[in-house]
Amino acid sequence: MSIMLIADDNRQITSILEEYAKNEGYEVKTAYDGMAALELFNEYSPDIVLLDVMMPKIDGFEVCREIRKVSNVPVIMITARGEDFERIMGLDIGADDYIVKPFSPAEVMARVRAVMRRIMADVSNKIFTYSNLTIDMDNYTVTINNKNIALTKKEIEILWTLATNKNKVFTRENLLDSVWGYDYYGDSRTVDSHIKRLRSKIGDQENWEIKTIWGVGYKFEVRDEK
């Protein structure tokens, strides 16, 4: 049975989500503050995390950062506030989806199903190699010249999306939809920040690059193919 960790200091919301999650077949672990959420995460290694932003002791952003240091488990963040900068921050630190209160529990479960379907599809026997680059989606690793490059989950997914579609131009909206897996109505600059960090980590390459198409978006450009 898959395990879902639900972390929210509102016990009524937690109880409702727990009921719906159990109906979906999940074993549920609940936490009412950030410290407890991390303790349960380390103890049970859940398959997906529903994570409230505003919690006592440690907020949801910090909990997500700590989780991302050790795991690529799907994280859906929940907040009572809908400011764009909070959504951008949540996505930038590695959240897979973002839901604003008030919400329908049925919608939350639909988001859970969508994220889990995408994650399962993403990691099904996928290895891409071009020139000195290898992306292994089974293990979420990237190597360049046989050296491991430390990238975040979202950076790997962006690189995979671009590289497996060589020379195809993706708009920022295309990348948000392909990588985050849902229509994002906030500021698409979150893509720019991910691309900037990705470029700094992979460095300059002789045969390929992540190229900016001004006014449009980005593409994985190869230099030895037409």
Indicate which CATH number applies to the domain containing 184: 1.10.10.10
110 in the same domain as 25: yes
pLDDT tens digits for the chain (226 residues)? 689 999 999 999 999 999 999 998 899 999 999 999 999 999 998 989 999 988 999 998 999 989 888 787 889 988 876 666 666 776 777 788 888 888 889 988 988 888 887 766 655 557 888 889 999 887 889 999 999 999 988 899 999 999 988 888 888 888 887 787 655 555 567 889 899 999 999 999 989 999 999 888 999 999 765 4
Structural domain of 74: 3-122
pLDDT of residue 202: 94
Q: What angle do CA 206, 212, 215 make, to 5 degrees?
A: 160
Compute the distance between CA of residue 77 and CA of residue 51 in angstroms, rounded to an integer: 5
pTM, to two decimals: 0.58
Q: Which residues contact 204 (CB under 8 A, 6 or more apart)?
A: none
Boundary-marking domain end, from 77, 101, 122: 122
103 and 26 within one domain: yes
Of residues 67, 93, 56, the one with CA closest to residue 5: 67
Total number of domains constituting the chain: 2
Contact 8, 56 (CB under 8 A): no
* Nearest CA among 68, 78, 23 for reference residue 41: 68
Q: What is the pLDDT of residue 20?
A: 93
What pLDDT score does 1 carry?
67
Q: What angle do CA 129, 195, 48 make, to 5 degrees?
A: 80
Are 44 and 87 part of one and the same domain? yes
Is the same domain home to 11 and 117?
yes
pLDDT of the residue at 153? 85
Same domain, 94 and 176: no
Asked if residues 17 and 29 have their Cβ atoms less than 8 Å apart, the reply is no
Residue 144 sits in the same domain as residue 57: no
State the pLDDT at residue 125: 54
